[in-house]
A and B are shown apart, each in its own frame.
Chain A
Amino acid sequence: MPFSKNQMDPDPPEDSPSNSTNSEGANAPQSPFPDEVLEKVLSFIDSHKDRSSVSLVRKDWYNAERWTRAKLFIGNCYAVSPEIVARRFPRIKSVILKGKPRFSDFNMLPRDWGANVHSWLVVFAKVYPFLEELRLKRMFVTDESLELLAKSFPGFKALSLLSCDGFSGNGLKAIVSHCRNLTELDIQDCVTEDFAGDWLSSFPENFASLEILNFASLNSEVSFDDLERLVSQCKSLRVLKVNESITLDLLQRLLMHASQLTELGTGSFSQELTPRQYEEIERAFSNCKNLQVLSGLWEASSLYLPLIYGACAGLTFLNLSDVALQSGEFAKLLAYCPNLRRLWVTDTVEDKGLEAVGSTCPLLEELRVFPADPYDRDQRDGVTEVGFLAVSRGCRKLHYVLYFCRRMTNAAVVTIVRNCPNFTHFRLCIMNPREPDYLTNGPMDEGFGAVAKTCTKLKRLSISGLLTDLTFEYIGKYAKNLETLSVAFAGSSDRGMQYVLEGCPKLRKLEIRDCPFGNAALLSGRGKYEMMRSLWMSSCAVTIKGCRLLAKEKPGLNVEVISEEENDESQADKVYVYRSVAGPRRDAPPFVITF
């Protein structure tokens, strides 16, 4: 094999295969296939993991693969550089690029930390004139970058921005006015301030190619007339998610033009309506026979929910995380949704609402319960282990859960995973740090141990509550398919982290905060981090010295520290370790120490 067996996320250096020392060099036996055949065959392979494997077989396969790859997936923008990518892959049409570590979603990184997409676009503009799709996650995107994007790729079709920041309405204006072939504009969970709404009016007069439009998270009033015209002209529109500025009566008019929608995000769902308006809106929803996904519903209450009943028969994904429903109205709504596979709600539905989920949603595969008021300490409401148990009893196909609660017991978790052993994603957040099992007043070790042991397909785990090193021992011992682990306020000693580093062969992402893990734990993973995408540790017991040692031992890793002080003995507040073929980054702001 030309390289080590590691399936690296960032692609290996372009010159590696020809420098290999084994027999697959200039004297390699002739390939049984001519290049054209090989390339044709490879053009059917989409998955980037498969392509990575293909590229490791032999040198001519490596070359055939690089010439036929059209889609680029870069899980960490700093693991590789745009120049390296451009040198290796000459014919890219679609790029997925991810930037900041996940904890930046929770305000744990300063704004100007990095992950600026601009340098990537500069290179792409030169090398990939036929670029059609760009999907960015947790990147910093300026208006200037969007303007460059808009003007550099005449065939550009799809832009998706997830959890990005840095841009304003002006940037979007450039995109919609220049990209004549735009089919997708999808803005999700982006932090934007002072967003002018006139970007929507910048679509050209006869524009008709849009298939996906999502501006639900943008804080701006758009011109309804322009929106209506756009929707009526785009006959292929299948996804429409508007923001709160669109009221119910306006939504009704949009639906009249777009009854073919498969995904709808409503605007504000509370308005004084005449009976006639009420009927018209009800009818408009009933006409949407193809709806599979529904979201938005801001401020909806029992008065207005019946409006959507007629559109729910085919729903597979219902996202109620933006509205505070009570258990009664929620249960009534569920009765109209027999085909639900994914459900997001807020904890205002309480255990009673989740009992209704258990009894009416047998096909449910994914459940997310968000806290309506995460910071209210005295609130006793929300959901508990009772609701989770009820869902596990009725929804045996459940494999993805994100559950925020204020109390939990080991016994409940053990039962839940016995009912639903097929969890691939188990994210349990007991909101009070170090909260014990409320019945035994002891640690939650056994509960999470049961998750690790019973759920053999477990890929992602988030743990919480009072936890000792025993939890990590269980995880290391049993969670052999685990890829992502999130830990907060847990563990008793370095051994905890070591168990996981030693025991989980498929671990790719490890994020830790407020745990008593120090330099010994950090350094014990020295052989592992290059096989992972990244490690995050904040408010732990690691010092600058430990980080410096790790960086020295492992040149293939970037070790970055954000800390108030720089001397060896001081605590490294935030540590971010990731493999990279691009070396330490050159755009690090002054508060980031790169070793």
Chain B
Amino acid sequence: MEKAAAVLENDDLKLRLGLPGTDEPEQQSSSSQVKNNKRSCAEMEIGSCQTGQEQESGAPATKAQVVGWPPVRSYRKNVLQQKRPESETGSGMFVKVSMDGAPYLRKIDLKFYKNYFDLLKALENMFKCTIGVYSEREGYNGSEYAPTYEDKDGDWMLVGDVPWEMFITSCKRLRIMKGSEARGLGCL
């Protein structure tokens, strides 16, 4: 292990070819052990010797990958490399909620709710408003407010059109729209 040099000797400043830690004067063969804690490849079947970070002595160095171990078939893909929506792996799906006219925004965890009914009831409670009932044709016509959301593409959509599961993965933020604007959306 390299000792922190208190006094630099002249030799240390000389440029030379060689791996750090090898003694300069002796003719080292090219297969000399590097003075770090990397386990030599000869100990394991050589698949690829990962160049791990040099570590303090005592801590095990990054182990070389062993051929054929663990015994899983090579065709089996690393399933974790599959595309997964980020929100699936997070511990919550917090999105900002704004309401027209309200002085500040709120934040809610979409994962907390099971369906649109629960969500809208919660929003009504939170903002002390009436959102009313969703209908595919009319939207939230008849109520003073309409819940809308910004989706992954940046478009503002009416809450309720798509299946719940699809909604929570594409919703980035919520906005409870007021009155006249809301009516415009509902008529589309």
- List A residues at the B interface (Cβ < 8 Å): 103, 105-108, 163, 189-191, 217, 270, 273, 275, 278, 298-299, 301-303, 306, 321-324, 326, 346, 348, 370-375, 377, 404, 429, 431, 433, 486, 488, 513-514, 539
Contacts and interface: CB of A to CB of B under 8 A. Distances in A.
Sort A-B residue pairs by CB-CB distance and give the 7 closest, nearest first.
Answer: A106-B68, A324-B79, A108-B68, A303-B165, A431-B70, A299-B82, A372-B79
A303 B166 contact: yes
Interface string B58-77: 00001101111111111111
Contacts of A488: 69, 71
B163 interface: yes
Interface stretch (B12-20, B28-36, B83-91): B83-91
28 contacts: A105-B74, A106-B73, A106-B74, A107-B67, A107-B68, A108-B67, A189-B73, A189-B75, A190-B75, A191-B75, A270-B83, A275-B163, A278-B163, A299-B82, A302-B165, A303-B165, A303-B169, A306-B165, A321-B76, A322-B77, A323-B79, A323-B82, A324-B80, A373-B80, A374-B70, A375-B65, A486-B71, A513-B68
B82 A106 contact: no
A301 B84 contact: yes
Nearest to A299: B82
A373 B79 CA distance: 7
B73 A275 contact: no
A577 B89 CA distance: 48
Interface in B92-121: none
B75 A429 contact: no
Given A377-B63, A539-B45, A429 B71 contact: yes
Given A106-B68, A374-B70, A513-B68, A348 B162 contact: no
Contacts of B78: 372-374
Nearest to A427: B71
A10 B70 CA distance: 31
A514 B65 CA distance: 14
Interface string B163-187: 1011001000000000000000000
Contacts of B45: 514, 539
Contacts, number: 89
A375 B166 CA distance: 33
Interface string B16-49: 0000000000000000000000000000010000
Nearest to A298: B82
A324 B88 CA distance: 11
- Interface of B (DSSP majority class): loop
Interface of B: 45, 62-63, 65-80, 82-85, 88-89, 161-163, 165-166, 169
Given A301-B88, A326-B88, A106 B79 contact: no
A404 B70 contact: yes
A191 B74 contact: yes
B34 to A, nearest CB: 20
A106 B70 CA distance: 8
A326 B89 CA distance: 8
Contacts of A191: 74-75
B100 to A, nearest CB: 28
A275 B162 contact: yes
A240 to B, nearest CB: 20
Contacts of B169: 303
Nearest to B84: A301
Given A278-B163, A370-B76, A302 B68 contact: no
A299 B73 contact: no
A431 B62 CA distance: 15
Contacts of A404: 70, 72
A301 B90 CA distance: 13
Nearest to A163: B73
Given A299-B83, A301-B85, A346-B79, A429 B163 contact: no
A306 B70 CA distance: 33
Contacts of B63: 377
Nearest to A108: B68
A40 B74 CA distance: 47
Contact of A302 (B71, B74, B80, B88): B88
Nearest to B89: A326
A217 B75 contact: yes
Contacts of A375: 65
Nearest to B74: A107
A105 B69 CA distance: 11
B73 A105 contact: yes
A486 B89 CA distance: 36
Nearest to A105: B73
A283 to B, nearest CB: 14
B72 A371 contact: yes
B88 A429 contact: no
A575 to B, nearest CB: 14
Given A275-B163, A301-B85, A302-B165, A348 B80 contact: yes
Given A301-B84, A321-B76, A322-B77, 4 more contacts: A217-B75, A326-B89, A372-B79, A375-B65
A544 B172 CA distance: 66
A374 B72 contact: yes
Contact of B72 (A106, A303, A348): A106
A193 to B, nearest CB: 11
B72 A370 contact: yes
